[in-house]
Amino acid sequence: MMSFQLRAVLNHGESFSLLRKNGDLYINNLSVGRHVLEIEDVDYVFPKLVLDISKKGEKAVVSAWYFQTGYEVNTNDRSLPFPLSLSPLSKREFIKAREKFNILKMLKSPYMLMVGFSIVMMFILPKLQAAVKEEEELSKLEAQAKTKTGPNVVTTYAE
């Protein structure tokens, strides 16, 4: 349901009209030329329109096109049919929904990755150092075995 706080603003505040109970908007005494029509509402976003008012004889001819800030209006396109029937583009959201807790997102954070890496290294590095020490001891024993002259088997049995 549309609120009755809705109003039509012409040329960025030059004139305006409030919404009537039947849903119509009227802006009287418009001059010949090009005007920007904006619909302002607290709850909804409406499209902007460019109104081109020209005189053909005694009659005023009104043409309307959708308008987006930053883009040029192509008046060669077919104008919108009258009476203009505008509907909101979207509902305004002032409060964003809070994100739900996600354990995977928490684990992917840089802080948790650093903490996880540190904890893993605390358990793995001592085991790696122990393995390196064992290898060093084995290599020392092998080196000693090669350099050390042990009892000669031939001389031992010959005696």
Domain boundaries, the chain: 7-91, 103-148
pLDDT tens string, the chain, 159 residues long: the values are 555 577 777 777 777 777 777 777 777 777 888 888 888 888 888 888 888 888 888 887 877 888 877 667 766 777 777 777 777 888 888 888 888 998 999 889 999 999 999 999 998 888 888 888 888 888 888 887 777 666 666 656 655
- pTM, two decimals, is 0.52
CA distance between the termini of the chain: 118
Which residues are CB-neighbours of 119 under 8 A, at least 6 positions away?
none
